[in-house]
C-alpha cells in the first residue's frame, strides 16, 4: 500500500518519512510539516534538510502556505540547507508573515545562512517590538561576526540581548533607544527598562516614569514607583498618576445595563456563577406574570426593581477593577 495514502493518518511513523525521503518525494514531506503530530513535523523538517539545494524552490514556495507549521518547517529546512536563494524570500517573511513565531524563525534562518545581504534587515529587526525577534536578530548578527557601525546600533544590540548592566553603564546615551523599546508588549521587558531608566535618571528618562506609572501591568507600575525618586517624581503625586491609568477590570456601565435589562446577566458578566440561575428565575417570573396580566405591565413593575440591582452591580464592578 502506498505511503501517500497514510500521509494524514495518526498512525504515520518515522519509518514512513524515511521511505518518502529515500524516494525523494519532497512535496509529500513538505505536506507532512502540517501534520497534527509534532514528532512527525520535526522529522519531516529534518528530512527536508538532507535534500540540499534541490529542495530550495519547493521550500521557498512552502513559505506561502496558509499553515504556520508548514512555513516554520520550511524555514527550519532552509536554515540547514543555507542556500543563498532563500535570503530574499525569508526577508519577505520577516516583513509580512502574520505569525511572530514565523518571523522569529526567519531571523534565525537568515543568521545561519550568513548572507551579508541580510545584515540591514537584521539590524532593523533589533528594534522590533517583539523581544524574541530582537533577540534572534542580535544573536544572528553575533554569529555572523557583525560589529555595530555606530553607538545607536550597539545600544539596540545590547537591549536586544537584554544585557541590562551594559546598557545601564552607557548612561544617557541609552535613554532614547530604551524609550523606543518601552513599547514592547512583554511586561518583564518594560519593567527592566523603567528600572534602568530610573537609575540613569537624566532629563529625558524622567518622562518614562509617568508613562510607566500608567502602565497596564502592575509589575511595571511598581518598578516605576521604585524608580520615581530618580525620575524626579514627588511621592505625593504617585497616587494621582497611578489613578490615571487605563483600568482593565470589568466595565461598570456594561454590568449595570445588563442587570437592568436582564437581571442576573450583569452578575454573570462579573464572573458570578449564580448570575445565570438568577436570570432564569427572573425570566420565568416575568413570563408567568405576562400570561396572567398581559405583556407590558410586568416590565413596568420589574424595571424599578432591576434598577436597584443595576446600581449594586455598577459599584460591585468598580470594586473589581484592577488594583494598584
Instruction: Work out the pLDDT band at 215, boundaries 50, 70, 90.
Output: confident
Q: What is the pLDDT, as a whole number, of residue 30?
A: 83
Instruction: Work out the pLDDT band at 4, boundaries 50, 70, 90.
Output: very low
Instruction: Work out the pLDDT band at 97, boundaries 50, 70, 90.
Output: very high
Percent of the chain whose pLDDT exceeds 70: 94
What does the domain layout of the chain look like in residue ranges?
A: 3-161, 165-243, 252-320
* pLDDT tens, position by position, 111-134: 999 999 999 999 999 999 999 999
Query: What are the helix (H) ranges across 82-162?
Result: 87-96, 100-113, 119-125, 131-143, 151-160
Mean pLDDT, the chain, whole residue set: 87
Would you say 67 and 79 are in contact if contact means Cβ atoms under 8 Å apart? no
Instruction: Work out the pLDDT band at 7, boundaries 50, 70, 90.
Output: very low
Angle among Cα 298, 300, 302 to the nearest 5 degrees reads: 65
- DSSP assignment of 285-299 equals HHHHHHHHH-SSHHH
Overall fold of domain 165-243 = 1.25.10
| Domains 3-161 and 165-243 in one fold | yes
Instruction: Work out the pLDDT band at 39, boundaries 50, 70, 90.
Output: confident
* Residue tagged 529587526 (cell numbers): 125
Overall fold of domain 3-161 = 1.25.10
Instruction: Work out the pLDDT band at 247, boundaries 50, 70, 90.
Output: low
Amino acid at each position: 500500500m502506498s505511503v501517500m495514502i497514510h500521509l494524514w493518518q495518526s498512525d504515520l511513523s518515522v519509518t514512513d518519512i524515511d521511505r518518502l525521503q529515500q524516494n525523494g518525494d519532497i512535496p509529500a514531506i513538505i505536506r507532512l510539516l502540517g501534520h497534527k503530530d509534532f514528532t512527525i513535523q520535526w522529522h519531516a523538517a529534518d528530512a527536508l534538510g538532507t535534500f540540499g539545494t534541490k529542495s530550495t524552490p519547493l521550500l521557498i514556495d512552502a513559505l506561502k502556505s496558509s499553515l504556520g507549521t508548514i512555513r516554520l518547517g520550511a524555514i527550519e529546512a532552509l536554515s540547514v540547507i543555507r542556500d543563498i536563494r532563500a535570503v530574499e524570500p525569508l526577508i519577505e517573511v520577516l516583513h509580512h508573515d502574520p505569525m511572530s513565531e514565523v518571523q522569529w524563525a526567519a531571523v534565525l534562518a537568515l543568521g545561519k545562512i550568513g548572507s551579508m545581504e541580510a545584515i540591514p534587515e537584521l539590524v532593523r529587526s533589533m528594534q522590533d517590538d517583539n523581544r524574541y525577534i530582537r533577540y534572534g536578530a542580535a544573536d544572528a548578527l553575533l554569529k555572523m561576526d557583525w560589529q555595530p557601525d555606530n553607538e545607536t546600533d550597539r545600544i539596540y544590540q545590547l537591549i536586544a540581548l537584554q544585557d541590562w548592566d551594559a546598557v545601564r553603564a552607557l548612561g544617557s546615551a541609552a535613554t532614547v533607544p530604551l524609550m523606543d523599546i518601552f513599547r514592547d508588549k512583554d511586561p518583564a521587558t518594560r519593567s527592566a527598562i523603567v528600572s534602568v531608566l530610573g537609575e540613569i535618571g537624566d532629563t529625558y528618562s524622567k518622562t518614562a516614569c509617568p508613562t510607566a506609572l500608567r502602565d497596564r501591568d502592575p509589575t511595571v507600575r511598581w518598578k516605576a514607583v521604585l524608580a520615581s525618586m530618580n525620575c524626579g517624581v514627588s511621592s505625593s503625586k504617585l497616587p494621582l498618576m497611578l489613578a490615571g491609568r487605563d483600568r482593565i477590570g470589568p466595565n461598570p456601565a456594561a454590568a449595570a445595563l445588563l442587570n437592568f435589562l436582564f437581571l442576573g446577566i450583569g452578575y454573570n458578566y462579573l464572573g458570578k456563577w449564580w448570575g445565570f440561575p438568577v436570570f432564569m428565575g427572573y425570566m420565568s417570573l416575568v413570563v408567568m406574570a405576562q400570561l396572567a396580566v398581559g405583556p407590558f405591565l410586568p416590565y413596568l413593575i420589574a424595571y424599578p426593581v432591576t434598577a436597584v440591582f443595576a446600581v449594586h452591580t455598577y459599584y460591585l464592578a468598580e470594586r473589581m477593577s484592577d488594583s494598584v
